[in-house]
Amino acid sequence: MRSDMIKKGLERTPHRALLKGTGVPQNQMDKPFIGVATSFTDLIPGHVGMRDLERFIEKGVHSGGGYAFFFGIPGVCDGMAMGHKGMHYSLPTRELIADMVESVAEAHRLDGLVLLTNCDKITPGMLMAAARLDIPCIVVTAGPMMSGRGQSGRKYSFVSDTFEAMARYKAGVINDKELQVCEDNACPGMGSCQGLFTANTMAILTETMGMSLPRCGTALAVSALKRRIAFASGEKIIELVQNNITPRSILTRKAFENAIRVDLALGGSSNTVLHLLAIAHEAGVDLPLELFDELSKDTPQLASMNPAGEHFMEDLDIAGGVAGVLKQLGSKIHDTPTLFGLTTHQLAESIQNVDEEVIRPLGNAIKKEGGIAILTGNIAPKGAVVKQSGVSATMMNFEGTARCFDAEEFAMAAIMEGKIKSGDVVVIRYEGPKGGPGMREMLAPTAAIMGMGLGDCVALITDGRFSGGTRGPCIGHISPEAAEGGPIGLVKDGDRILLDIPNRSLELLVDEATLAARRSEWTAPQPKIKGGWLARYAKVVTSAHTGAVTTAD
As a whole number, mean pLDDT of residues 268-290 equals: 96
Q: Which helix (DSSP H) or strand (DSSP E) does residue 347 occupy?
A: helix 344-349
Of 50-64, 170-184, 224-238, 375-389, the range with the lowest mean pLDDT is 170-184
Percent of the chain with pLDDT over 90: 83
Q: How far apart are CA 3 and CA 19, in angstroms?
A: 11
| Residue 502 CB partners (closer than 8 Å, separation 6+) | 396, 397
What is the structure's pLDDT at 151? Answer: 67
Characterize the bridge pairing of strands 496-500 and 505-508: antiparallel
Contact, 119 vs 192, CB < 8 A? yes
Question: What confidence tier does 332 reach under pLDDT thresholds 50, 70, 90?
Answer: very high
Contact, 70 vs 34, CB < 8 A? no
Question: What confidence tier does 468 reach under pLDDT thresholds 50, 70, 90?
Answer: confident
* Domains, in order of start, for the chain: 1-26 (no CATH), 31-148+190-349 (3.40.50.2300), 372-546 (3.50.30.80)
As a whole number, mean pLDDT of residues 48-65 equals: 98
Q: For 65-86, what is each residue's pLDDT tens digit?
A: 999 999 999 999 988 998 789 9
What is the structure's pLDDT at 442? Answer: 84
Distances (CA, A) of 53 to 89, 109, 110, 310: 27, 24, 21, 30
Question: What confidence tier does 553 reach under pLDDT thresholds 50, 70, 90?
Answer: low
List, in sequence order, every beta strand (DSSP E) within 23-166: 33-38, 67-72, 112-117, 137-141, 148-149, 155-156
| Residue 233 CB partners (closer than 8 Å, separation 6+) | 57, 60, 114, 138, 139, 140, 212, 213, 216
Give the bridge partners for 479, in sequence order. Answer: none
Q: How far apart are CA 92 and CA 90, in angstroms?
A: 6
Whether cis (ω within 30° of 0) applies to the bond prior to 32 is no
What is the structure's pLDDT at 154? Answer: 78
Q: For 87-138, what is each residue's pLDDT tens digit?
A: 999 999 999 999 999 999 999 999 999 999 999 899 999 999 999 999 999 9
Question: What confidence tier does 152 reach under pLDDT thresholds 50, 70, 90?
Answer: low
pLDDT tops 80 at residue 25: yes
Among candidate residues 467, 505, 520, 543, the one labeled active-site is: 467
Characterize the bridge pairing of strands 372-375 and 384-387: antiparallel
Does residue 467 have an active-site annotation? Answer: yes
Amino acid identity for residue 286 in this structure? D
Q: Which helix (DSSP H) or strand (DSSP E) does residue 507 occupy?
A: strand 505-508
What is the structure's pLDDT at 354? Answer: 97
What is the structure's pLDDT at 551? Answer: 85
Q: What is the pTM of this model?
A: 0.94
Whether cis (ω within 30° of 0) applies to the bond prior to 480 is yes
**Quick one: which of 338, 205, 347 has its CA closest to 262?**
205
Q: How far apart are CA 353 and CA 344, in angstroms?
A: 17
